């Protein structure tokens, strides 16, 4: 009887009294966090409702860590001539200062996120890929880079590709992840 009474008292104390609302909110957040950690997208019923991304994702580098660098390369059509491929170097070489100050990390992470987002829909074909926010952001970024280089205003369009490399591991060749269709440069 004493054990039952004690258990009841513990439950009652957890569910009533000052701070009940805070405990309830904390409980909801903790359980929502647990419920959104599944790595397969099929189990995303709760994530889809998290408009402000308040529920954290704690699966850092797991189960499969990012083991490639992503690179954006592009070429342009200028007065009917196709240029060679050029790269946009987005990755800062590692420096000790990065421990304290590394604003370029945001841009690196953005490319990393976008590349992974595009890779997820690669098998859907370009009519789907080109409609995704990830792809459009990437394409607009390349367009802005092209425009910045277009001093004479002669560039008619561009084509970009997403490649991945094994970074410092020079024995592995880079691979093309996706070659985007030609895009006319709107003025």
Partner 1 sequence: MREYHAHSSPLVCKLIDVLSSQTGTTALHVSRVVVSTALLLPGNSRLRGVGSSYLAVTGAVAYTRHRYGTDGSDQVAVLVQSGNAVARLSDSHRVKDAAIWHTALQANLSYVVSGWYKLLGRQWRQGTALREIMRTRTYGHEGAFRVAERYPSPAKALVHSVMGLESLFPVVYCARGRLVRPILASLLIFHAANAYLMGLGRFLTAFASMHPHVAYTAGPKHPAAPDRDDTPVTAVALAAAGIAAWAGVRALRRRIYVLRGAKGTQWHTMPNGDVIAYRFDPGCETEPVLVFCNSLAATSEHFSWIATTVQSHRPCGVLRYDRAGYGASRQTDHTPRGLNAAVRELCDLVGATVNRDRHIVLVGHSLGGDIARRAASSLGNRVAGVVYLDPSHPGQLDRSERQRASSAGFADILTTMAWSTRLGLGVLMSRENWIEDLPSHTRERAFAEYADSRLWTAARREWASILDEYREFDSTLPPVRSPALLVTASKTADTDPEQVVLHNEIAEAHRTGGAHAETTVLHDTDHDSLMTNGTNATQVGALIMEFVRIHASGAKASFGKEAGD
What residues between 138 and 157 interact with partner 1 by CB under 8 A?
none
Stretch that binds partner 1, among 74-82, 123-131, 145-153, 155-163 (CB under 8 A): 123-131
The least distance separating partner 1 from the CB of residue 148, rounded to whole angstroms, comes to 18
Exactly one of 102, 120, 179, 182 binds partner 1 (CB under 8 A); which one? 102
Which residues share a beta bridge with 183? 158
Rg (CA), the chain: 24
CA distance 126 to 144: 21
CB of 143 to partner 1, least distance (A): 17
Give CA–CA dist 118/130, Å, rounded.
Answer: 9
Token pair for 79: 């007065």
Contact stretch for partner 1 (CB under 8 A) within 73-81, 119-127, 144-152, 153-161:
119-127
- Choices 74-82, 87-95, 150-158, 179-187 (CB under 8 A): range interacting with partner 1: 87-95
**Closest by Cα among 96, 109, 91 to 165:** 91
Select from 156, 169, 53 the least CA-distant residue to 113: 53
Among 6, 8, 30, 82, binds partner 1 (CB under 8 A): 30
Contact characters 38-77, partner 1, x per CB under 8 A: xxx-xxxxx-x--xxxx-xxxxxxxxxxxxxxx-------
> Closest distance between partner 1 and the C-beta of residue 21, in Å?
8
Number of residues that bind partner 1 (CB under 8 A): 80
Find the helix or strand (DSSP H, E) in which 151 lies. Answer: none
The count of residues in the chain is 187
Q: Identify the H or E element spanning 126.
A: helix 126-129
Q: Which of 27/83 has CB closer to partner 1?
A: 27
């Amino acid at each position: 009887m004493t054990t039952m009474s004690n258990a009841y008292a513990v439950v009652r104390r957890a569910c009533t009294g000052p701070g009940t609302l805070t405990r309830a909110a904390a409980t909801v957040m903790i359980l929502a966090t647990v419920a959104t950690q599944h790595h397969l997208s099929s189990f995303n019923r709760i994530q889809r409702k998290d408009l402000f991304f308040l529920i954290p994702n704690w699966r850092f580098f797991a189960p499969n860590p990012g083991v490639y660098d992503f690179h954006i390369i592009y070429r342009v059509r200028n007065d009917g001539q196709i240029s060679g491929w050029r790269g946009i170097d987005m990755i800062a070489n590692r420096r000790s200062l990065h421990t304290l100050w590394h604003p370029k990390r945001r841009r690196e992470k953005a490319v990393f996120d976008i590349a992974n987002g595009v890779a997820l829909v690669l098998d859907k074909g370009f009519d789907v890929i080109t409609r995704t926010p990830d792809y459009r952001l990437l394409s607009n970024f390349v367009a802005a880079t092209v425009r910045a280089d277009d001093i004479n205003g002669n560039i008619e369009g561009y084509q970009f590709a997403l490649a991945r490399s094994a970074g410092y591991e020079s024995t592995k060749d880079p691979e093309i992840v996706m070659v985007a269709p030609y895009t006319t440069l709107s003025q």
